[in-house]
Amino acid sequence: MKAQGISEDRLELLKGICGAFRPGVLTALMGISGAGKTTLMDVLAGRKSGGYVKGTIKISGYPKKQETFARISGYCEQTDIHSPHVTVYESLLFSAWLRLPPEVNPETKTMFIEEVMELVELTSLREALVGLPGVNGLSTEARKRLTIAVELVANPSIIFMDEPTSGLDARAAAVVMRTVRNTVDTGRTVVCTIHQPSIDIFDAFDELLLLKRGGEEIYMGPLGHHSCHLIKYFEEINGIPKIKDGYNPATWMLEITSAAQEEALGVNFADIYKNSELYRRNKALVKELSSPASGSKDLYFQTRYSQSLLTQCMACLWKQYWSYWRNPPYNAVRFLFTTVIGLLFGTIF
């Protein structure tokens, strides 16, 4: 799936603003229900508040510090939560106002927001109110693209997305995944949990982490053109049927790695992966990346938040002002309620 909706020169400009000149990677996190896809992603993103987490997470060879990692990462939830009475542009402005560092001047910030809107194909909807889901305002797929844009304007290096195509029809899912692919083309790493994607959507991914029930790895590696690496890996296993021409590799992969298929073949795909050359290459890569590069330094921010407390208060007051101003029924009810309560208490006392 090639990047559409944004010209090459604007894509290069966006790369320059982001300071990202390395190729981005789009990774799919897949498995049957109960395999632990969302749990794993929440642990990596530092959003898992319950349970017990065991192990070590390193960023560029240094132990992960959640306060620092939160500043360089974004997370798009499966449920799109936005303020209904602000416009698309104001939603992005609010996010950029709070999350970009003070060193970014207003002109650069405005230019960055405009480029992000074009990247996710929201320019034509910039003055549209977000509205309530299923009632008014943006469509479901436009709301999903806004969720991605809100994270993008924070200029993260890595973005986690939980089921970005959930609840969308084929056309809407294709539009959202085109947006995700455009995001990757700016040099960012994107990790998505996804469930039974179409052929075109699955072909947009660069790498795959496939899990079985219990969180055990079945496959971790590149997909290749039209999933050629994935297909070659599984077809080399004894007893696995060849994929039919034109068949969806994602569906084929989930079918042949099911628990019923494992029992029929008498194999354990997790053990096969652990004894493969691919697993040894991955372990060697993990070992190599677990040590900091010579001359590098751990990422450090002087403050916990990008903006001061005063700036945060100003931004929140600005957003609430527009939310109340554009909602006359709510304000009318508040005035009426205040008047009635005042008359009631005045009469009683």
The 10 Å Cβ neighbour count of residue 344 is 10
Per-residue model confidence as pLDDT tens digits over 102-159: 888 888 899 999 989 988 889 999 999 998 887 888 888 899 999 999 999 998 989 9
Angle between helices 140-152 and 106-119 (to 10 degrees): 140
Q: Which residue has tokens 């002087």? A: 302
pLDDT in tens, 301-321: 888 888 999 999 999 999 999
Distance CA(240)–CA(265), nearest Å, equals 8
pLDDT tens for each residue of 273-305: 999 999 999 999 888 888 888 888 888 888 888
Write phi, then psi, for 160 (nearest 5 degrees): -100, 135
Q: In CATH, what number does 8-307 get? A: 3.40.50.300
The Cα 121–Cα 67 span in angstroms is 31
